[in-house]
Amino acid sequence: MTDQSALETATAFLDAFTSKDFETASSYLAKDFVFAGPMAHFDSAEEFLAGVKSFAATIRPGWAKVAAFGDRHEALLLYDLTLASGDPWRIADHYRVTDGKIAAETILWDTHGFR
């Protein structure tokens, strides 16, 4: 168990993920991590990491926080990514954290803007 809040865990994960540091990103995920998004669903951390590496190649490193809320078990982040083209992309992301690991992530965005 960790004293780190869900928001701190989610932020650290997002820092690693958007930096394409998948080894560090994976350290924040529970083995039975579940991901739900508009274009994909994964039922394990291993499946998620294998499936999102090609997605990560479409974004520039880093992210910019718009808003963030959280407690010990949940975090909600609204943030901007930058696509490889230079276009901004707004994301809403909900994380559920159990025993210091991200157990679930639900992400939403305007899929039209991603096309």
Q: What is the pLDDT of residues 70-91, one digit of tens each?
A: 999 999 999 999 999 999 999 9
**pLDDT score, position 1:** 43
- Residue 99 has a pLDDT of 95
Contact 65, 71 (CB under 8 A): no
Encode pLDDT of 44-78 as tens digits: 999 999 999 888 989 999 999 999 999 999 999 99
Q: Where are the domains of the chain?
A: 6-114
- What is the C-alpha to C-alpha distance for residues 90 and 72, in angstroms, rounded to an integer? 25
**CATH number of the 6-114 domain:** 3.10.450.50
Residue 22: pLDDT above 70?
yes
Average pLDDT over residues 104-114: 82
User: What residues contact 85, with CB distance under 8 A and at least 6 apart?
Assistant: none
